Chain A
Amino acid sequence: MRRLSLSLACCSAAVVMLGGCGRRSGDTIRIGVIAELTGSIPAVGASCRNAALLAAKEINDAGGIEMGGKKKKIELVIEDTAAKADQAAAAAQKAITRDDVAAIVGPNSSSNALPAAEIAEKAGVVMIAPWSTNPKTTLDAQTNLPKKFVFRACFTDMFQGHVLGKFAAETLKAKKAAMLYDVASEVLKSQSELFKQSFEAGGGRVVAVETYTTGDKDFSAQLTKIKKAGPDIVFLPSYYTDVPLQVQQAHRLGLKVPFLGSDAWSTEELIKMCGKDCDGFYLSNHYSPQTTNPVTRRFIDSYKAAYGGVPDDVAALTYDSFGLLRVALAAAGTTDHRAIRDALSRTTDYQGVTGNMRFTPGSGDPVKGAVILQIKDEKFVWVTDVQP
């Protein structure tokens, strides 16, 4: 009986702690950082937290952000999601309800960002997901219209089609392009459509559009048709698992033009499986540590000085999320959620470490640059930054 009562008492104590009063922010601007610190992708969470701490320190070292004639410092509320959707939602709800945050940065993976975005949107608090590329994160699930308070710092999967089309037309000066994509994937389909649009806007012409379905292993029919059309380049937004097979079959058929892909290619696995066949090909990515952009170089140096390693794309995008927020907070001059939202959506030219960014009214997806990498001697090499 006594033990039972004791455990009941423990429970009530826990509930009381849960029920404790929230804090109100006063002299600081509280920003919630919701990251996958534990669980299946702790490296992502660590990069996000490191970059957040670095960004906050830089803002605070510079005196903070001016609000109502007073400089206010940034205070971070870092919460773990354990890479779980339910905990991401709880963390977001806690940051909003208990810690009264001005805005939220994170979560990074789309499976965590989506449920957190629902909470932020409902509460009317700005949330910037640094690394969530799922188009649905910033859209209202029922109406498919943009959410009002949810933004992201990365481009969506589809948006890369736009950047790549521009790069093919303007930098590579290609005149004729062919496309081969997985028709079963909605994302790859829209990516290809965007590529076609921007490539043709840049003066090129798409001469062949071929498709396949997930799981196909023989692409010779499609590749033969593409070869007949005689393109200068081939747009191939496949996942890295399909690319080696497709490229090797193309080379066997004598199709020897450069191929273009998306960030779905940006893994060492691709180079391992593809070998020399992929040499000279181009792909787009969020960011490259090899870039010559001075803003990016400065970030890389200070990150290295603080943590010893080269920042990855999550770190770069988290840093940019804070950069966007800093500008918006300064412009709003208040921690009022709606004012921050309005200021953020009016961002027209933010010089980020992952390229220049702007938001178009009514959309949480940035119009932003990308980096183009080339596979050279079995390594990814930075070629250029492409601005939209």
Chain B
Amino acid sequence: MTWHTAGALFRDRRTLYALTATGFVLSWAIPRFGLLDAYVQLILMYVGINVILCLSLNLINGFMGEFSVGHAGFMSAGAYTASLLTVRVFPHGVAWAFPAACLAGGCAAALLGLLVALPSFKTRGDYLAIVTLAFVFIVKSAVENIDAVGGPRGFLGMDHLTTLPWVFAWTVGTVFVIRNFIYSRYGRGVLAVREDETAAEFMGVDTRQVKVLTFVVASFFAGVAGALFAHLLQYISPGMFDIVKSTEMLVMVYLGGVASIGGSLLGASLYTVLLEVLRPLAMWRMVLMPLLLVLLMIFRPRGIMGMREFPWFRRRPQARGGGRAAGVTAAAQPRAQVPILLDVSGLTHRFGGLTAVSGFGLRMSSSDLVGIIGPNGAGKTTVFNLITGAYRPDKGRILFAGQDITGRRPGEINAAGIARTFQNIRLFKDLSVLDNIMTAHYARSACGVAEALSHAGRYRADESRVRDHALDLLAFFEMEGQASACAGSLPYGLQRRLEIVRALATRPRLLLLDEPAAGMNPLEVDQLMEFIRRVRAEFAVAILLIEHQMRLVMSVCERVEVLDFGTTIAAGTPAQIQSHPRVLEAYLGQEAAS
């Protein structure tokens, strides 16, 4: 067989289906006819359980980019819940008892996952690691102090219910559900949280929902793995589910590769099998495995399959839905007009003793194109942050389309119809151009959690609607050719443009552009001016922009506000501003002005 045919087989999804079917048959036939000895069967079951653990931890640590070490705790919850049910509650010898116990174990772990996730909203990185570390210790001590489940001595009495077919079925199920989750609107939210949580929030991604959901899904499968583990060893003790167990899972995740389903399959299998194969090394076995990890971190820090995917698990390339959709411009989606779109009054914000913005006021109609200029540190970006909900104003009120949005969260403000770009580009760099745009559709997606996990129901229709709309948007701006390119790999000017397109994907009525021309050459600035005019005309959005490039501001904007020390010192048409004495004073100093 040549590399070519091997590759084709590898890319063909039917091979995966065939392998899965063969796997099911084998998982039944192997123990039935003793095709492999008991030792290999045991190791195969360990592999399956570790794949489930590794994949579910990868969801949090790889796909979402957090650092959780709490999986041993979730596994423990699942193991104890399932064991208690099969030993003390469910009748013995009935067929439904074991799957029901596994589900219950998963649910118990998911509930704990929810409890951990809720207070951990605001914690990221190191803090989440510490919270989950504490969680592992809490679970261990709690179980050690419950005599009803054997305390530190552990719990026994489970039948040997974990069999090869069960392990295989749960493993396939886990891969199926987690893959579905990743390729859904929630999955895009998960990746956006990893890439840039703040930007995700401004683009309408409900980051709380995404984080909690991810934690719950991941801990559910850790609980299932715990249940399988308990009924395989027929003995569990709190000491088994300590931080060392979590570390083992971390090793598997980072060995196989972060943010990769194929990587988790590979990492868990390699780790488990190597530990056994290397037995002849005796004491050196436990030295070699960590050493392998150190070398891997040096030469391949994201793991063997880091951020890449086996062709089988990639998203299926899908054809565009029913041709060109209704269209993306305002003509296709007319909206009711309001006389005053934005009405900001008396806005004040302090950073400690420094008043960054003081008594700022601004009114815009739904077709205005207004520029804010001012020296560095004048408070321009702070005004943007106040309007978009990044900061909460100390004083003042922001009315948008007649609605008071003062102090709302960025996601809510985005939903109300305000979108923004950032001074330093904040794209989801490791995601494709198309995914960047599709992520911005999060809030307007109709797909529910159950549909996302099963890819059933409205999932397909919703997904193709979102994709078509995103592709149309790209086509409108002549970027369709870059749809599958990695956003971070685009040239600078295109990245700026993509960020604006992404903001437009949330269907705003007001677009805030923070220094859109920063770092551009004169030719690119010319193109940008044309672009801004076109956006306003075709999408019927009001635009408020901050810019230092006077050529752009003076030729594009109809009105200009000049900010200095947090207050508006002048406002008017570009012509009025250019000769305004206070503006000259602020920009050129007192003497020059006089």
Q: Measuring CB to CB, which residues of chain A are less than 8 angstroms from any residue of chain B?
A: 1-2, 4-5, 7, 10-11, 14-15, 17-19, 22, 37-40, 78-80, 82, 84-87, 89-91, 93-94, 96-98, 110-111, 114-115, 118, 122-123, 134, 136, 141-142, 184-186
Contact check, B156 vs A136: say whether CB atoms are below 8 A apart.
Answer: yes
Residues in chain B near residue A184, CB distance under 8 A: 147
Contact check, B46 vs A86: say whether CB atoms are below 8 A apart.
Answer: yes
Residues in chain B near residue A11, CB distance under 8 A: 266, 269-270, 273
Contact check, A141 vs B282: say whether CB atoms are below 8 A apart.
Answer: no
Once the chains are docked, how many angstroms separate the CA of A11 from the CA of B262? 13
Once the chains are docked, how many angstroms separate the CA of A201 from the CA of B147? 32
The verdict on A97 contacting B275 (CB below 8 Å), with A86-B46, A118-B233, A184-B147 known, is: no
The verdict on A40 contacting B233 (CB below 8 Å), with A4-B310, A90-B42 known, is: no
Residues in chain A near residue B37, CB distance under 8 A: 22, 97-98
Is B237 an interface residue when CB atoms closer than 8 A count as contact? yes
Please give the distance in Å from B296's CB to the nearest CB on chain A: 12
Is B29 an interface residue when CB atoms closer than 8 A count as contact? no
Is B368 an interface residue when CB atoms closer than 8 A count as contact? no
Interface pairs (25), CB distance under 8 Å: A1-B3, A1-B7, A14-B273, A18-B277, A19-B36, A19-B40, A37-B283, A38-B283, A38-B285, A39-B286, A80-B279, A85-B237, A86-B229, A87-B275, A90-B276, A93-B38, A96-B38, A96-B39, A97-B37, A98-B39, A118-B160, A136-B156, A141-B156, A184-B147, A185-B147
Contact check, A17 vs B277: say whether CB atoms are below 8 A apart.
Answer: yes
Contact check, A86 vs B233: say whether CB atoms are below 8 A apart.
Answer: yes
Contact check, B239 vs A111: say whether CB atoms are below 8 A apart.
Answer: yes
The verdict on A85 contacting B233 (CB below 8 Å), with A14-B273, A97-B39, A114-B154 known, is: yes
Contact check, A14 vs B235: say whether CB atoms are below 8 A apart.
Answer: no
Is B14 an interface residue when CB atoms closer than 8 A count as contact? no
Please give the distance in Å from B46's CB to the nearest CB on chain A: 6
Interface string of B12-48 (1 = CB under 8 A from A): 0000000000000000000000001111101100100
Contact check, A40 vs B240: say whether CB atoms are below 8 A apart.
Answer: no
Once the chains are docked, how many angstroms separate the CA of A110 from the CA of B285? 23
Residues in chain B near residue A87, CB distance under 8 A: 275
Once the chains are docked, how many angstroms separate the CA of A37 from the CA of B43? 20
Contact check, A136 vs B147: say whether CB atoms are below 8 A apart.
Answer: no
Please give the distance in Å from A253's CB to the nearest CB on chain B: 30
Interface string of B223-261 (1 = CB under 8 A from A): 000000100111111011000100000000000000000
Please give the distance in Å from A168's CB to the nearest CB on chain B: 27
Where chain B touches its partner, the secondary structure class is: helix
Pick the residue among B7, B233, B304 that contacts A115 (CB under 8 A). B233
Scan residues 270-292 of chain B and give those whose CB is less than 8 A from a CB of chain A: 270, 273-277, 279, 282-283, 285-286
Contacts A38-B285, A78-B282, A82-B286 known; 4 new A-B pairs at CB < 8 A:
A4-B310, A80-B285, A90-B46, A97-B39
Residues in chain B near residue A111, CB distance under 8 A: 154, 235, 237, 239-240
Measured CB to CB, the nearest residue on chain B to A1 is B7
The verdict on A37 contacting B282 (CB below 8 Å), with A118-B233, A118-B234, A142-B157 known, is: yes
Contact check, A141 vs B158: say whether CB atoms are below 8 A apart.
Answer: yes
Contact check, A136 vs B277: say whether CB atoms are below 8 A apart.
Answer: no
Pick the residue among B6, B229, B234 that contacts A5 (CB under 8 A). B6
Once the chains are docked, how many angstroms separate the CA of A134 from the CA of B234? 15
Residues in chain A near residue B304, CB distance under 8 A: 7
Interface string of B145-164 (1 = CB under 8 A from A): 00100000110111110000
Interface string of B194-213 (1 = CB under 8 A from A): 00000000000000000000
Residues in chain A near residue B266, CB distance under 8 A: 7, 11
Please give the distance in Å from A313's CB to the nearest CB on chain B: 19
Pick the residue among B154, B159, B276 that contacts A142 (CB under 8 A). B159
Once the chains are docked, how many angstroms separate the CA of A233 from the CA of B529? 98
Contact check, A38 vs B286: say whether CB atoms are below 8 A apart.
Answer: yes
Measured CB to CB, the nearest residue on chain A to B159 is A142
Interface string of B72-101 (1 = CB under 8 A from A): 000000000000000000000000000000
Please give the distance in Å from A318's CB to the nearest CB on chain B: 17
Which residue among B6, B39, B234, B266 has the maximum number of chain A CB atoms within 10 Å of its CB? B39
Residues in chain A near residue B40, CB distance under 8 A: 18-19
Residues in chain A near residue B239, CB distance under 8 A: 111
Contact check, B42 vs A84: say whether CB atoms are below 8 A apart.
Answer: no
Please give the distance in Å from A194's CB to the nearest CB on chain B: 18
Once the chains are docked, how many angstroms separate the CA of A134 from the CA of B151? 12
Please give the distance in Å from B576's CB to the nearest CB on chain A: 64
Residues in chain A near residue B39, CB distance under 8 A: 90, 93-94, 96-98
Please give the distance in Å from A110's CB to the nearest CB on chain B: 7
Residues in chain A near residue B10, CB distance under 8 A: 1, 4
Once the chains are docked, how many angstroms separate the CA of A79 from the CA of B283? 9
Which residue among B36, B158, B282 has the maximum number of chain A CB atoms within 10 Å of its CB? B282
Please give the distance in Å from B266's CB to the nearest CB on chain A: 7
Residues in chain A near residue B156, CB distance under 8 A: 114, 136, 141
Once the chains are docked, how many angstroms separate the CA of A54 from the CA of B3? 55
Please give the distance in Å from B236's CB to the nearest CB on chain A: 8
Contact check, B158 vs A5: say whether CB atoms are below 8 A apart.
Answer: no
Once the chains are docked, how many angstroms separate the CA of A90 from the CA of B157? 20
Please give the distance in Å from B257's CB to the nearest CB on chain A: 10
Contact check, B277 vs A14: say whether CB atoms are below 8 A apart.
Answer: yes
Pick the residue among B7, B42, B153 that contacts A136 (CB under 8 A). B153
Contact check, B235 vs A94: say whether CB atoms are below 8 A apart.
Answer: no
Please give the distance in Å from B238's CB to the nearest CB on chain A: 10
Contact check, A115 vs B235: say whether CB atoms are below 8 A apart.
Answer: yes
Residues in chain A near residue B236, CB distance under 8 A: 85
Contact check, B286 vs A80: say whether CB atoms are below 8 A apart.
Answer: yes
Pick the residue among B3, B147, B157 that contacts A2 (CB under 8 A). B3
